[in-house]
């Protein structure tokens, strides 16, 4: 595999994958296809050697452009997505256009040219789970974490359009022999994450002299994974995965939002209770938890960043040292949240 296309490669998770590939796979050339919407930032690719990648600014739903790029590559790794739940509740259409029509356009081109396709998805397609304390196995029993056999039960315009895109890929594998795999990953954190998202919002609030904001009672649980571990897992699946299979990616990082916000405050030398409660998100999923046994046992993957506290400290340091990356957008993001009482 000498040439790959990474869609959404200027976004948070996609750009971290591009850095990972260029740093770890010296023979691979990366074409980044990114629309550079508000969530894409070409500065996320700064510092990469110019002879190892190219940035093509364009839309994954542009059939002519996609066709031209796909016919000259070995694989497509599809990160591009509209991905912020709150935005999907305000205006669902861009989520349908990018997540469903965009994915359709890519898999049709990969089918036409017999190109390997990896589809990056989310654990949110499975809906949510009860809290550990409300389960007979306290979160470790059968059916108490998501697996690739968990039925789809999406709850938002975002997760439903991602579920729709997953099902398109599955159908194209079965109907047309598309050479594809799917991964569903838990919540990522790390460098280059847009400051509207939970962890960087709280970090940049503190750096800006604003109190962090906790949605509702803070009991909602997410299974956090450092984005570098997500990258290594996707590369493992791309190179070793069995066609037609779905692999779940997680690092056993379950934490509730209240614990996360208090840890951020502690790591930034603030009182642990120095936050405000704000309105909860409508339809806020309660708990996500990933069982990544299949990925570990069948493909031999292991996460590197298994200590959430250390990973979070590194992430805080990155935002502290890269204020110019996020500062100009901070006021607009907070004004947007304030309009929703958040």
Evaluate whether 111 touches 178 at the Cβ level (below 8 Å): yes
Angle (nearest 5°) at CA 314 between 269 and 191: 120
CA distances from 28 to 3, 72, 100, 126, 252 (A): 6, 14, 28, 34, 31
Question: Among 82, 123, 285, 334, which one carries the catalytic annotation?
Answer: 123
Positive or negative: CA dihedral 116, 121, 127, 130: positive
Clarify whether 123 is annotated catalytic. Answer: yes
Query: Going along 231-305, which residue ranges are E strands?
Result: 246-249, 254-256, 276-278
Q: Which of 79, 126, 158, 319 is catalytic?
A: 158
196 carries an active-site annotation:
no
Rounded to an integer, what distance in angstroms lies between the CA atom of residue 83 and that of residue 40?
A: 12
Q: Which one from 108, 124, 128, 262 is the annotated catalytic residue?
A: 124
Q: Among positive and negative, which fits the CA dihedral 327, 332, 335, 339? A: negative
Told to judge if 158 belongs to the known catalytic residues of this protein, a careful annotator would answer yes
- What is d(CA 326, CA 162) in angstroms, rounded to the nearest whole number? 27
For the annotated catalytic residues, the residue numbers are 123-124, 158
């Amino acid at each position: 595999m000498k040439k790959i296309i990474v869609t959404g490669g200027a976004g948070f998770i996609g750009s971290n994958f591009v850095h990972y590939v260029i740093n770890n796979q010296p023979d691979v050339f990366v074409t980044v296809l990114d629309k550079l919407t508000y969530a894409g930032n070409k500065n996320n690719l700064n510092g990469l050697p110019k002879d190892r990648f190219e940035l093509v600014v364009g839309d994954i739903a542009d059939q002519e452009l996609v066709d031209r790029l796909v016919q000259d590559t070995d694989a497509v790794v599809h990160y591009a997505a509209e991905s912020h739940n709150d935005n999907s509740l305000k205006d669902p259409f861009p989520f349908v256009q990018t997540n469903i029509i965009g994915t359709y356009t890519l898999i049709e081109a990969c089918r036409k040219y017999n190109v390997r396709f990896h589809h990056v998805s989310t654990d949110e397609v499975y809906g949510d789970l009860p809290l550990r304390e409300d389960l007979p196995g306290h979160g470790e029993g059968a059916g108490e974490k998501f697996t690739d056999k968990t039925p789809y039960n999406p709850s938002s315009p975002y997760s439903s359009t991602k579920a729709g895109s997953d099902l398109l890929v599955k159908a194209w594998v079965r109907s047309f022999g598309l050479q594809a795999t799917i991964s569903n990953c838990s919540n990522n954190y790390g460098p280059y994450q847009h400051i509207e998202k939970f962890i960087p919002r709280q970090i940049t609030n503190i750096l800006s002299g604003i109190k962090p904001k906790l949605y509702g009672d803070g009991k909602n649980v997410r299974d956090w994974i450092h984005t570098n571990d997500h990258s290594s897992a996707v590369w493992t699946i791309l190179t070793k995965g069995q066609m037609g299979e779905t692999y779940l990616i997680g690092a056993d990082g379950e934490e509730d939002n209240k614990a996360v916000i208090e840890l951020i405050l502690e790591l930034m030398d603030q009182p642990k209770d120095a936050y405000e409660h704000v309105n909860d998100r409508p339809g806020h999923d309660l708990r996500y938890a990933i069982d990544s046994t299949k990925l570990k046992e069948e493909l031999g993957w292991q996460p590197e960043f298994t200590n959430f506290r250390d990973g979070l400290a590194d992430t805080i340091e990155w935002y502290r040292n890269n204020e110019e990356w996020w500062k100009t957008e901070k006021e607009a993001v907070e004004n947007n949240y304030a309009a929703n009482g958040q």
